[in-house]
């Protein structure tokens, strides 16, 4: 495919996500990155897990940071902005392009973003919450990219969204799928899988 066409496809994908946010309070793209990149990112988190570098995730921030697996049971690893890993570079570039598009078309003023891998072992979950901290309002938009191969309905692990004034939406964590919503208002929840590890990358766009 030529460069011009690729850019147009990317713009259409970004528009689909933004239109979803406007119409339904969340956007979704089923192939935010290609299958090779999803596999590469999934292998990265598998290796990180095997080598013991994932850390129990916390709730809150700074002085209020606590660990409580009855609220949140995933293990995480932050992604370095200057990563030399080819798949992380593809991911970071794509999110950067999305932010540029958002700032240009939606008058947002996103200046940076943070991303982490998350591994939910069987039966771990993250109870209903919003992503913006009470004492620090920098997080404006959330992005969740799923990294799972051949995820089946019977595997569970749904991401439930609770848009205000609209019915709950249950989203299957299928590899390559990206979900987009506002960090201050969208309540959401990660349900457990009883069958397998559930892997994702969560990112927060900040102003």
Residue 190, contacted partner among ligand OGA, Mn ion, none, CB below 5-8 A by kind? ligand OGA
Cβ neighbours around 73 below 10 Å, total? 19
Vertex 30: Cα angle to 42 and 127 (nearest 5): 70
**Closest to Mn ion by CB, 40 or 161:** 161
Contact code string over 93-132 relative to Mn ion, x by CB under 5 A: --------------------------------------x-
Contact code string over 111-150 relative to ligand OGA, x by CB under 6 A: -------x-------x----x------------x------
Helix residue spans in 27-75 (DSSP H): 35-50
CA distance 203 to 205: 7
Q: For residue 59, what are its two tokens?
A: 């709730």
CA distance 126 to 190: 5
| Least gap, CB of 202 to ligand OGA (angstroms) | 4
Q: Which residues bind Mn ion (CB under 5 A)?
A: 131
């Amino acid at each position: 495919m030529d460069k011009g066409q690729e850019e147009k496809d990317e713009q259409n994908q970004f528009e689909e996500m933004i239109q979803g946010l406007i119409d339904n309070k969340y956007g979704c793209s089923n192939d935010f990155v290609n299958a090779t990149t999803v596999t590469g990112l999934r292998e990265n988190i598998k290796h990180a897990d095997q080598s013991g570098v994932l850390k129990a995730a916390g709730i809150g921030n700074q002085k209020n940071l606590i660990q409580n697996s009855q609220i949140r049971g995933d293990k995480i690893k932050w992604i370095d902005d200057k990563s030399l890993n080819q798949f992380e570079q593809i991911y970071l570039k794509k999110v950067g392009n999305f932010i540029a598009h958002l700032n240009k078309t939606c008058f947002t003023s996103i200046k940076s973003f943070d991303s982490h891998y998350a591994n939910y072992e069987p039966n771990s979950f993250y109870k209903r919450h919003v992503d913006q901290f009470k004492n620090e309002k920098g997080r404006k938009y959330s992005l969740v990219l799923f990294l799972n191969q051949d995820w089946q309905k019977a595997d569970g692990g749904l991401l439930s969204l609770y848009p205000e004034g609209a019915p709950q939406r249950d989203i299957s964590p299928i590899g390559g799928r990206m979900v987009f919503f506002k960090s201050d208002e969208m309540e959401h929840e990660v349900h457990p899988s009883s069958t397998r590890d559930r892997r994702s990358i969560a990112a927060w766009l900040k102003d």
